[in-house]
Structure 1
């Protein structure tokens, strides 16, 4: 039955891919999520899987656009899941990252794990290359998924997110690669934590380096060029939400390397842990044209 279902889905993908750059299907029943396939999808090939998690007040489509994920998917051929969080009292989509899980609250961890399981059951996924990429609130959720599962994910990327401070709630035993990407002038989730509930950027990465048994980190100053501009022009923070720019704007990119790398080595099971410290970057800098996602996935996949 499973083989028959996979065959039907594969035929559907062939039809869809003839008229689009990539095929999109939906899973998740009462909470649908889109599954996107590369245009050159081949049923008998094993693909990496990437789960994208949007930030608070954002959406899956906005996240895909912000990370230029469609371009990267065409270049490196992976299957992706793009889900949506639930809405809070003010109507803003978000992920429930709170641990321990409160009775009666939305269990986004179970929901997202279910999506991954469904995709792995229906399509040919390389179980050793399943990743999470989360932005802000989605970055917090990426850490929770890493802690709630054991051996499901090979690596996570947290962009402007953070690890919760009570690390005793982290249950996973299997080493996992972690990349934290964070702006030094982040006004929403500060680079150095201002609350007792979550760790700062360095401490978030360091926690996983310790869990993975890594060696002392090496710091490489101005190692990467990730940022086009320190913020997206025209985007205004209003009550926790962002609005898109209304018109054209001038980009002043000198192509200089602004990002420091802090890399932990000799980690268990060949994993890697890193912090990319983006000097001068705000909570939502402009990374367009810099292949941020491609560089991040290359970092994670270099660990296997």
Structure 2
């Protein structure tokens, strides 16, 4: 704004003063400062985590190519849950850059946001907790605070010739001023629509549905996922946020390779109107929901419907396939069990890739009806089975190379049944977590979409 003189001063000085006075000065533009912050979460292979913050400023930010010092920001978290002391502490910023949107990016760009990427491996990155064996999500609204504690200086636009360069922008720090988040962006999870289905039997199925970007004419596969016992509940969110079972198929990189609908219902063993996946009424309700989903969405290709379940969801998948394998084209099943007799009677030609840790302490590898025992029974009945084993701790690329070798062997043998064992002591987090390396394995998921 221009500085203005009072009226009496102008009259006293007269025209001569106006002629001799220096040009009016320009006041400095106010420095942009943080006015809002939003938590960004991701469902990582190791669970639901807070991996970033989007800081919104009240002015334009153009830092050019300058790197932002991550230590210019102090981030603290206080995670609360019923009946427990808060989990509090600092989070570590591993990258910072300006952006024109509240989203992660590979390049800095001018805008009104600064994105902070946080260390996802530190304990306070968790966005969920275990309560009585069930995965529950922290209420993350209001849980994060951030302050800019040091100045951030941009790069001048052009300093190669005197007089041509533009002054670098500087964002002053405000160490004593913190901003608390009032919103949460759940990457991928936010792209699902919520629904509920009540079967004629009375069983209720809350579900989430992901719809791909549809073109004018194509039809698309449908992937049905059945979660494990830990993701049971009534929130209609844990089954897609608890682990990568569902979001692995909705991930943008996966959708670019295999665009598909994803249907993820939720069971609740503690609720008589819902139940667990091993309940016959729940299996019937899933079948009915799948049929209804296909009927309601003419863009779904009914010849390309796939089933994937882990742990309790694998139990349910074996039960459903024993009744209605005609509804599906293939299945990817992890650390579960079913009926050996039903599999031999109904699934000798149905494509299945199953995965199980040899030292699984929750669903024993060699227990009656286990995935492993089912595949042994199929082989004893004369069905070709391709066996493979590797460490679940190997880098993704190495596991995918071993999966590709197993698939090549299966194709050579004309086998529609593949079984992969994770060696003892090599399953990430704990011995039952076979799904962790499974849903990051592109070869296995590519195989499913090839059916």
Q: For the superposition of Structure 1 and Structure 2, which TM-score range results when normalised by the shorter chain?
A: 0.5 to 0.7
Cα deviation 1:86-135 (Å, max 9, x = unaligned)? 333799963234xxx5xxxxx01210011111111011211221111111
* Gap runs ≥5 in structure 1: 1-19, 102-106, 229-252
Corresponding residue of 1:77? 259
How far off is 1:175 after superposition?
2.9
Larger Rg: 2
1: CA distance, partners of 2:348 / 2:372: 21
CA deviation vs aligned residue, 1:63-87 (integer Å, no higher than 9, x gap): 4341264353232211111111133
| 1:272 corresponds to 2:420 | no
Q: 1:205 to 1:88 in 2, by over 3 A?
A: same
The answer to whether structure 1 residue 122 and structure 2 residue 301 are counterparts is: no
Partner of 1:67: 244
2:276 to 85, 88, 94: 94
Query: What is aligned with 1:26?
Result: 195
More strand, by proportion: 2
Q: Residues 180 and 254 of structure 1: is their aligned pair in 2 closer, same or farther, counting only changes over 3 Å?
A: closer
What is the CA–CA distance in structure 1 between the aligned matches of 2:319 and 2:438, rounded to whole Å?
30
Whether 1:203 and 2:373 are equivalent positions in the alignment is: yes
Q: Which has the higher contact order (CA 8 A, sep 6+)?
A: 1
2:327 corresponds to? 152
Cα deviation, residue 148, structure 1: 0.8
Cα gap change, 1:35 to 1:180, in 2 (>3 Å): same
1:172-191 paired onto structure 2 within 5 Å: 172=346, 175-191=349-365
Give the 3 Å change call, closer, same or farther, for CA 170–276 of structure 1 in structure 2: closer
Distance 1:118 1:43, change over 3 A: farther
**Structure 1 pair 57/68, CA: closer, same or farther in 2 (3 Å)?**
closer
| Structure 2 CA distance for aligned equivalents of residues 168 and 84 of structure 1 | 25
Query: Is the Cα contact below 8 Å between 1:214 and 1:265 reproduced in 2?
Result: no
Is the contact between residue 131 and residue 156 of structure 1 (CA under 8 Å) also seen in structure 2?
Answer: yes
Q: Who is 2:221 aligned against? A: 48
Change (3 A) 1:117 1:43: farther
The runs of at least 4 aligned residues of structure 1 exceeding 6 Å deviation read 89-93
Query: Relative to structure 1, is the Cα distance of residues 87 and 199 closer, same or farther in structure 2, using a 3 angstrom cutoff?
Result: closer
**Number of matched pairs:** 240
1:134 is matched with 309
What's the CA shift string for 1:209-246, capped at 9, x where partnerless? 567x633x444554xx7547xxxxxxxxxxxxxxxxxx
| TM-score w.r.t. length of structure 1 | 0.65
Q: Is the 8 A contact 1:151 1:174 kept in 2?
A: no
How large is the Cα RMSD of the aligned pairs?
Answer: 3.8
Distance 1:227 1:146, change over 3 A: farther
- Residue 291 (structure 1) aligns with: 440
TM-score, normalised with respect to structure 2: 0.45
Q: Is the Cα contact below 8 Å between 1:57 and 1:94 reproduced in 2?
A: no
TM-fit CA distance, 1:163: 2.2
Equivalent residue in structure 1 for 2:383, among 207, 210, 214: 214
Distance apart, 1:285 and its partner CA = 5.0
Q: In structure 2, how many angstroms separate the alpha carbons of the residues matched to 1:41 and 1:290?
A: 24
Rounded Cα–Cα distance in structure 2 between residues aligned with 1:28 and 1:184: 37
Judging changes above 3 Å, is the alpha-carbon distance between structure 1 residues 142 and 210 closer, same or farther for their aligned structure 2 residues?
A: farther
Query: Residue 290 of structure 2: SS of its match in structure 1?
Result: helix
